[in-house]
């Protein structure tokens, strides 16, 4: 990777800042890379071999769906470990790990049983269940704890099933459904769990079970006797019934138009069967009850088995939501077809069928169903053509018959009989056969011990059960450690054998439920068997351990031994030592193989096992892995050429050729002579195999994946993210480090101490080998050839050992490099991988996108260096953090990151020396020298690195100088500025390139300014307690304080602004805007600022920030009219980015600017512009009033109202539009009154109507409240409006308001002085108010008489006069005498009227007479 210089051909490793590069030998580097390439290709070969396991149909040797086969008749189909020469008769295949009795509470319940009881398993939640009559009990079968029960049914429970609910129907806490079927009802219960974490152990998601007391759904069974219930993975519930029909319990969240939430669907009848009553349907059906359902969720196929052995196939559709019956095979047909395949076996062995199991696509692509008979015979079926593109089933064809152990004439084990229960999954078969009526024996058959075979070989074992098996099941395999999951490399391939994944997966565990309780049985894999043998033998020096290596062949056995040898668990220390010893003792030795030996091995590996070579030839293990060997030289795509002819030479990288092995056709050339081949030892192959198995699909998987996200603009985008998270990578690193420690611990095995001396080899080797290969040699030469063979074997044995050691050294280097690569990748993931990668150049991102891990390890050092540089660049602002990251990088990946990767240039040396210089003038001179040397470089500079170094020594002026100089050198003709001023046309490729080159240079300056700004914004460090006693730590003089950073930033900014580079000014202004430093930008006195803002606004007319900047610039430069016009434009623009409040602020600011311009100028057009602004401000305030009125409406949250408010905020309307489009349609009387007042429109009828609407609207708001509250609310509103309009008689109709308000007071029996007080508070003068009341009284309106309050106005007048008497100052002094005289006149007149009324014995009139006389006397005294 380039250092301070970058060129297209540079392959120099990444530079580490400040250190001169070390000199490496190109030969050693080439040899190291070649060794990694060599080891990588061997890993590729083992990868292909590990993935070459056959499909189940291939193991059964079924070529096509219409060519059925049989197996099990040969004793070698079930090989015994007690075969002569092996000595593994005691090797256990299964192990009973735990026996847990039934909970004691349940045993007592059996005494109360009346009708029926049954038991079963829910393995997915580690529970067993028991039904006794109508009650169900569920408990943890591992410890008999967490007993839960449900007793809410009244009928006997017939069938039970645990169902995963359909999504988005029930609440999240309901994790499962418990389906219970009785003769009367079918019930769905909710099941929830409480997780727990005890003692630091992993979280147990199903620790405590809770059954909801109330059923979620209950439907009648319609006299349907349910025999079995099964559920699909998507939550569908199917039921097998005694009437021979298949039902589905359909449930949904809500009722449909013609459907209920929960109903029962009969899939065995036509859609019109509902027209026939259920009791009639039952009578017409054949008496063949369905007894079992099996579902294949991987293919969406459902199978049923009837009581008479009929098998049916139902297609659930591609989405798993359909249902159609596609095939049916009777037991008679199946037995007949099986008898044609195996004619020597009695037909009675093929019936009855007691169990069926789906064979998922994870096990086989061609075999789909297996049926088990009462004698343990397995019948394999297929529902379509082999390797057909058609995924839908259409038939049910018997393709293979597998007989159980015991059918061979020489079989030493009894055959199963009276099988009444079975379990099959992923190649493992459990059969429960009856010994007596109350005791069973469990037969276990599995092919895990014989992977990579050409046909199915299985081990078998029997376990006595003390009781009759009530249920069989398999516990879910515990999740492997996080990140250790083995992903199948090919999605269309079945899951690999257990020997491939035994280092990450726990052993399979089966549960047998009897009346004695639960029996947990583990199916042992090779690694558990080896552990058992080592512990039983007390070490590796035992024949049983040696026989284990013979049985599994040395390569596979060594790989299994490495799992134990590399274990870091404290409890495994002794076993680890024993496994290591066994690895070296029985891992065989490398050897050279001559052509005749090759022929012998090839003959041994021909299909068809013979009794004499059953174990010696490795028939029980992979025919290829154990014999990885090297043949004739070939071409290497990675460029590695061996120095000697017999040195291993890799073939094509993907493994299509690979290393030639002994016995393969590729090892036998059709012309010329093939030399001797090296056959590596089992230790060698086991190490390579284990290395690949640790990595699994990571080895040839992509490093990154594209992840969709939303960018800042809210638009969808893609970013690169790691295909593995940090936890996963940590697991891989941990496992590989254990392997590396194993190799380090046993360096005496991997260090090459023997170098083959080719000078002592016979010169006529080729002629001797030719003679050795000829079959027609004379007898006289036989002894000579034997002598030659012994000599060659001795010589080549030494060479074979040297070649293997060399290969192991390469593996050691590959393991170390892989640990480093994974460790680096984990560090990158810990530091936000997607952000780091986004900083890489696009071409590097493209390279990363296509990179696979194996290439990254072997040939990815340059890419690693770029990633490290990208990581370091993020931490240059903080020396402490950078040091920590650097230390971690050196610890994790020392070969990818070191001090020897520094930039080797004189300028860098001077710069580094200047850091230690204390003299200020000398340091400045050295910095200037470094700057001048950089400026003299004609090649393209690595500016980011240079600028970072300058920033470290606070040479900020040098950053500006070098960047501007580099920009000029990259664009000496000024093409970038021409490109910029012409609108950046995309067709100008040359100008675009120059523009990008300049911007890249300027970016270093803005980055530096950004760093300074960050320091400026930091808070001063608070005092802290020292970390250790002693003198205070030395101050860091290189660290800038916020004050110093601010000074440096200002100084650097002023220096940068002196540049005459207009394009640089543009980039700098952009940065100031991005950093929200608008004040800084406005303070700049440069001719480029105005042109920059104008151009930016012209290109981004909708950019509010730029428009704000432009008017502020004009205002600051005292161009007030220009500022006012931009502000007006901002206020009048359409759009939701500016709300109405801000528009009013813009208009107000524009008015201020216009006034400022008017003071400096006498132009008439400016005065007219100011007048227009003032009018717009007034109308805008009316618009604000409308928005406020709409916002308090009760129905403001409706979509229409929100849309209207959005329109009002999006633009300014004229006064006509405000009245006609908003105030009038939405009944806003106050707003209409304000608009009429603003327009000066005098219409007394309209104004009185608006006042009436205002009063009525206010009173409606307080409907149902007390009179005092109603009138107080109305009074407050009128006071506020009166202060606005009381000064204008045309818009404040006093007489109308007094009459209307007094009428409302009469209706509500309010305080008589309320209206008077309200109007006086609103600003109405007392004389005018008295005149209005007197006029209303004189009018003798019949309304008062009809409302039975004829004296109300006189009562109010007494209150009004009393207010004047109590506060004469309410009337101006110069008008007071005249007002008093007026009061005396009206009082006299009122007394005359009242005296007439008092004559009629009106008590109210009498009281008013007394009040008026008292007021008259007081008024007389006031004259």
> What is the pLDDT at residue 833?
87
pLDDT digits (tens, 9 = 90+) for 149-171: 898 888 999 999 999 999 888 88
662-667-669 Cα angle (round to 5): 155
d(CA 923, CA 1037): 14
pLDDT digits (tens, 9 = 90+) for 1286-1308: 888 788 888 888 888 888 888 88
Residue 1093: how many other CB atoms lie within 10 Å: 22
> Higher confidence at residue 777 or residue 501?
501
pLDDT digits (tens, 9 = 90+) for 1012-1036: 888 888 766 545 566 667 677 666 6
User: What DSSP character marks residue 1219?
Assistant: I
pLDDT digits (tens, 9 = 90+) for 127-146: 999 999 889 999 999 888 88
d(CA 167, CA 232): 13
Beta-carbon contacts of 1323 under 8 Å, excluding residues fewer than 6 positions away, are 1282, 1283, 1286, 1287
Lowest mean pLDDT among 161-170, 599-608, 679-688: 599-608
Say if residues 1238 and 1182 touch (Cβ distance below 8 Å): yes
In whole angstroms, how far apart are CA 675 and each of 422, 592, 635, 645?
A: 55, 10, 16, 9
d(CA 428, CA 1339): 111
On the question of pLDDT at 601 being above 50, the answer is no
pLDDT confidence tier of residue 1165, bands split at 50, 70 and 90: low
Tokens representing residue 677 in the block: 């081949």
% of the chain beyond a pLDDT of 70: 80
* Chain-centroid distance, C-alpha 107: 48
1415-1420-1421 Cα angle (round to 5): 100
> Higher confidence at residue 1402 or residue 196?
196
> Higher confidence at residue 1072 or residue 1021?
1072
d(CA 801, CA 782): 28
> What is the pLDDT at residue 31?
65
Given phi > 0 = left and psi -120 to 50 = alpha, else beta, which region is 553? left
Mean pLDDT of all residues in 779-808: 77
> What is the pLDDT at residue 1092?
78
Mean pLDDT of all residues in 784-813: 82
> Higher confidence at residue 253 or residue 317?
317
On the question of pLDDT at 492 being above 70, the answer is no
Q: Where do the DSSP E strands lie in 297-350?
A: 301-306, 311-315, 324-329
> What is the pLDDT at residue 670?
37
Averaged pLDDT score across all residues of the chain: 79
> What is the pLDDT at residue 1365?
85
On the question of pLDDT at 1332 being above 50, the answer is yes
Say if residues 626 and 553 touch (Cβ distance below 8 Å): yes
Q: How many CA atoms lie within 13 A of 411 on its CB side?
A: 18
On the question of pLDDT at 642 being above 60, the answer is no
Beta-carbon contacts of 832 under 8 Å, excluding residues fewer than 6 positions away, are none
688-693-697 Cα angle (round to 5): 120
> What is the pLDDT at residue 106?
85
How would DSSP label each residue in 735-788? HHHHHHHHHHHTHHHHS------GGGS-TTHHHHHHHHH-TT--THHHHHHHHH
Q: Listing from the earlier edge strand, what are the strands of the sheet with 226-231?
A: 226-231, 237-241, 246-251, 262-266
> What is the pLDDT at residue 249?
93
d(CA 436, CA 415): 16
Strand partners of residue 296: 301
> What is the pLDDT at residue 10?
33
Q: Which pTM value belongs to this model? A: 0.61
Mean pLDDT of all residues in 1357-1380: 85
d(CA 25, CA 30): 9
d(CA 837, CA 721): 8
> What is the pLDDT at residue 1400?
53
Lowest mean pLDDT among 662-666, 673-677, 680-684, 1261-1265: 662-666
On the question of pLDDT at 902 being above 50, the answer is no
> What is the pLDDT at residue 347?
92
d(CA 1207, CA 1212): 9
Mean pLDDT of all residues in 275-292: 60
pLDDT confidence tier of residue 580, bands split at 50, 70 and 90: very high
On the question of pLDDT at 660 being above 70, the answer is no
On the question of pLDDT at 611 being above 50, the answer is no
d(CA 366, CA 369): 10
Q: Which long-range contacts (CB under 8 A, 24 or more apart) does 1238-1245 make?
A: 1238/1178, 1238/1179, 1238/1182, 1239/1215, 1242/1290, 1242/1291, 1244/1290, 1244/1293
> What is the pLDDT at residue 1163?
52
Mean pLDDT of all residues in 1217-1236: 83
On the question of pLDDT at 1345 being above 60, the answer is yes
CA torsion through residues 1231, 1237, 1241, 1242, sign: positive
> What is the pLDDT at residue 873?
65
Lowest mean pLDDT among 644-648, 788-792, 1148-1152: 644-648
CA-closest candidate to residue 527, choices 451, 432, 603, 435 = 451
> What is the pLDDT at residue 907?
53
On the question of pLDDT at 214 being above 60, the answer is yes
> What is the pLDDT at residue 913?
63
% of the chain beyond a pLDDT of 90: 23
CA-closest candidate to residue 551, choices 71, 59, 94, 89 = 89
d(CA 1011, CA 1048): 11
Cis bond upstream, residue 352 (ω within 30): yes
> Higher confidence at residue 1083 or residue 759?
1083
> What is the pLDDT at residue 1025?
64
> What is the pLDDT at residue 689?
93
d(CA 950, CA 923): 12
Mean pLDDT of all residues in 918-931: 82
pLDDT confidence tier of residue 1166, bands split at 50, 70 and 90: low
> What is the pLDDT at residue 754?
44
* Chain-centroid distance, C-alpha 1115: 51
Given phi > 0 = left and psi -120 to 50 = alpha, else beta, which region is 789? alpha
């Amino acid at each position: 990777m380039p250092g301070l210089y970058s060129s297209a051909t540079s392959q120099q490793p990444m530079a580490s800042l400040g250190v001169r590069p070390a000199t490496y030998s190109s030969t050693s580097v080439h040899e190291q890379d070649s060794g990694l390439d060599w080891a990588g290709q061997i890993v590729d070969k083992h990868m292909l071999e590990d993935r070459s396991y056959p499909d189940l149909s291939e193991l059964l040797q079924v070529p096509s769906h219409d060519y059925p086969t049989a197996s099990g008749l040969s004793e070698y189909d079930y090989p015994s470990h007690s075969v002569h020469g092996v000595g593994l008769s005691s090797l256990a295949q299964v192990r009973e790990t735990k026996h847990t009795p039934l909970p004691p509470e349940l045993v007592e319940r059996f005494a109360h049983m009346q009708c029926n009881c049954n038991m079963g398993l829910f393995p997915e939640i580690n529970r067993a269940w028991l039904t006794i009559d109508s009650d169900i009990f569920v408990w943890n079968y591992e410890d008999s704890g967490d007993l839960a029960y449900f007793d809410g049914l009244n009928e006997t429970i017939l069938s039970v099933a645990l169902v995963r609910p359909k999504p988005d129907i029930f609440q999240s806490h309901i994790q499962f459904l418990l389906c219970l079927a009785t003769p009367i009802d079918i019930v769905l219960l909710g099941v929830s769990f409480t997780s727990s974490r005890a003692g630091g152990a992993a979280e147990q998601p199903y620790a405590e079970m809770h059954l909801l007391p109330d059923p979620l759904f209950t439907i009648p069974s319609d006299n349907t006797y349910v025999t079995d219930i099964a559920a699909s993975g998507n939550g569908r519930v199917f039921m097998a019934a005694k009437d021979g029909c298949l039902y589905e319990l359909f449930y949904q969240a809500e009722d449909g138009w013609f459907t209920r939430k929960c109903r029962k669907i009969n899939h065995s009848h036509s859609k019109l069967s509902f027209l026939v009553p259920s009791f009639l349907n039952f009578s017409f059906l054949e008496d063949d009850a369905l007894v079992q359902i099996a579902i294949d969720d991987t293919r969406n196929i459902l199978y049923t088995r009837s009581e008479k052995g009929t098998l049916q196939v139902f297609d659930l559709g591609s989405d798993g939501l359909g249902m159609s019956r596609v095939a049916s095979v009777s037991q008679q047909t199946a037995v007949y077809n099986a008898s044609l395949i195996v004619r020597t076996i009695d037909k009675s062995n093929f019936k009855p069928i007691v169990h069926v199991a789906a064979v998922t696509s994870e096990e086989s692509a061609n075999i789909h169903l297996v049926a088990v008979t009462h004698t343990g015979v397995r019948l394999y079926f297929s529902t379509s053509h082999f390797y057909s593109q058609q995924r839908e089933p259409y038939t049910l064809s018997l393709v293979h018959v597998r007989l159980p152990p015991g059918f061979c004439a020489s079989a030493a084990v009894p055959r199963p009989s009276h099988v009444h229960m079975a379990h099959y999954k992923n190649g493992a078969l459990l059969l429960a056969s009856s010994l007596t009526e109350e005791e069973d024996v469990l037969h276990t058959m599995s092919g895990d011990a014989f992977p990579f075979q050409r046909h199915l070989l299985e081990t078998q074992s029997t376990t006595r059960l003390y009781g009759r098996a009530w249920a069989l099941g398999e516990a879910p395999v515990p999740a492997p450690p996080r990140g250790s999951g083995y992903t199948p490399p090919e999605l269309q391939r079945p899951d690999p054998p257990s020997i491939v994944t035994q280092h990450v997966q726990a052993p399979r565990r089966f549960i047998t439920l009897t009346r004695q309780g639960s029996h947990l049985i583990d199916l042992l894999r090779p690694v558990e068997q080896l552990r058992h043998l080592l512990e039983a033998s007390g070490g590796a020096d035992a024949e049983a351990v040696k026989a284990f290596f013979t049985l599994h062949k040395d390569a596979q056995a060594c790989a299994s031994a490495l799992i134990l040898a590399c274990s870091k668990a404290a409890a495994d220390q002794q076993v680890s030592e024993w496994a290591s010893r066994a690895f070296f003792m029985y891992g065989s030795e490398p050897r050279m193989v001559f052509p005749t030996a090759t022929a012998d091995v090839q003959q041994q590996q021909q299909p068809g096992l013979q009794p004499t070579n059953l174990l010696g030839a490795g028939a029980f293990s992979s025919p290829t892995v154990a014999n990885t060997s090297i043949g004739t030289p070939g071409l290497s795509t990675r460029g590695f050429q061996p120095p000697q002819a017999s040195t291993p030479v890799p073939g094509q990288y993907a493994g299509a050729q690979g290393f030639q092995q002994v016995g393969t056709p590729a090892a036998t050339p059709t012309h010329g002579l093939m030399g001797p081949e090296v056959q590596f030892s089992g230790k060698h192959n086991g190490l390579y195999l284990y290395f690949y198995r640790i990595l699994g699909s990571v080895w040839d998987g992509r490093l990154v994946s594209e992840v969709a996200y939303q960018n800042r603009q809210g638009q969808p985008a893609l970013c690169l993210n790691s295909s593995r998270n940090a936890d996963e990578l940590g697991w891989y690193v941990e496992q590989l480090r254990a392997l590396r420690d194993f190799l380090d611990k046993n360096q005496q095995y991997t260090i090459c101490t023997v170098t083959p001396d080719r000078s002592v080899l016979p010169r006529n080797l080729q002629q001797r080998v030719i003679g050795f290969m000829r079959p027609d040699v004379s007898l006289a030469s036989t002894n000579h050839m034997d002598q030659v063979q012994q000599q060659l074997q001795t010589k080549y044995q030494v060479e074979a050992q040297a070649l293997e050691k060399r290969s192991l050294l390469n593996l050691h280097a590959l393991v170390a490099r892989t640990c480093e690569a994974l460790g680096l990748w984990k560090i990158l993931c810990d530091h936000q991988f997607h952000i780091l990668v986004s900083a890489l150049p696009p071409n590097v991102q493209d390279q990363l996108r296509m990179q696979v891990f194996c290439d990254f390890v072997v040939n990815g050092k340059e890419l690693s260096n770029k990633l490290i540089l990208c990581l370091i660049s993020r931490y240059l602002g903080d020396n402490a953090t950078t040091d920590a990251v650097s230390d971690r990088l050196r610890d994790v990946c020392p070969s990818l990151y070191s001090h020897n990767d520094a930039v080797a240039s004189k300028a860098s040396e001077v710069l580094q020396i200047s850091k230690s210089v204390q003299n200020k003038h000398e340091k400045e001179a050295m910095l200037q020298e470094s700057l001048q040397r950089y400026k003299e470089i004609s090649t393209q500079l690595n500016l980011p690195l240079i600028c970072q170094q300058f920033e470290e020594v606070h040479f900020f002026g040098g950053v500006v100088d070098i960047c501007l100089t580099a920009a000029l050198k990259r664009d000496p003709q000024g093409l970038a500025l021409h490109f910029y001023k012409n609108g950046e046309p995309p067709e100008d490729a040359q100008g675009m390139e120059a523009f990008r080159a300049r911007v890249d240079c300027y970016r270093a300056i803005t980055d530096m300014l950004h760093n300074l700004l960050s320091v400026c914004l930091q808070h001063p460090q608070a005092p802290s307690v020292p970390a250790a006693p002693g003198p205070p730590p030395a101050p860091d003089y290189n660290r800038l304080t916020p004050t110093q950073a601010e000074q440096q930033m200002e100084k650097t900014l002023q220096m940068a602004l002196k540049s005459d580079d207009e394009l640089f000014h543009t980039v700098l202004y952009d940065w100031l805007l991005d950093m929200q430093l608008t004040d800084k930008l406005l303070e700049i006195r440069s001719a480029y600022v105005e042109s920059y803002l104008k151009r930016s606004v012209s290109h981004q007319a909708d950019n509010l920030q730029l428009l704000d900047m432009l008017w502020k610039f004009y205002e600051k430069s005292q161009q007030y009219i220009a500022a006012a016009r931009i502000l007006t434009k901002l206020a009048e623009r359409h759009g939701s980015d500016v709300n109405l409040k801000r528009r009013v602020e813009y208009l107000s600011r524009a008015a201020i600017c216009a006034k400022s311009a008017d003071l400096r100028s006498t132009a008439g057009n400016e005065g007219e512009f100011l007048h227009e602004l003032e009018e717009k401000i007034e109308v805008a305030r009316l618009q604000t009033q409308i928005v406020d009125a709409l916002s308090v409406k009760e129905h403001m949250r409706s979509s229409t109202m929100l849309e209207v408010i959005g329109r009002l905020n999006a633009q300014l309307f004229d006064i006509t539009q405000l009245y006609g489009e908003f105030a009038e349609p939405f009944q806003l009387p106050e707003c209409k009154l304000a608009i009429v007042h603003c327009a000066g429109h005098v219409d007394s009828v309209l104004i009185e109507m608006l006042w009436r609407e205002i009063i009525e609207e206010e009173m409606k708001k307080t409907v149902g409240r007390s009179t005092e509250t109603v009138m107080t609310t109305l009074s407050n509103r009128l006071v506020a409006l009166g202060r606005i309009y009381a000064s204008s008689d045309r818009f404040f109709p006093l007489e109308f308001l007094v009459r209307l308000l007094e009428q409302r007071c009469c209706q509500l029996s309010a305080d008589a002085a309320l209206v008077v007080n309200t109007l006086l508070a609103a600003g109405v003068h007392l004389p005018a108010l008295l005149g209005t009341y007197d006029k209303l009284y004189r009018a003798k309106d019949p309304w008062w008489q009809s409302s039975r309050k004829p004296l109300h106005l006189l009562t109010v007048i007494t209150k009004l006069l009393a207010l004047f008497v109590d506060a004469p100052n309410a009337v101006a002094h110069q008008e007071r005498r005249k007002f008093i005289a007026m009061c005396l006149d009206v009082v006299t007149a009122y007394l005359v009227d009242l005296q007439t009324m008092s004559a009629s014995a009106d008590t109210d009139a009498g009281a008013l007479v007394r009040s008026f006389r008292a007021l008259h006397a007081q008024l007389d005294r006031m004259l």
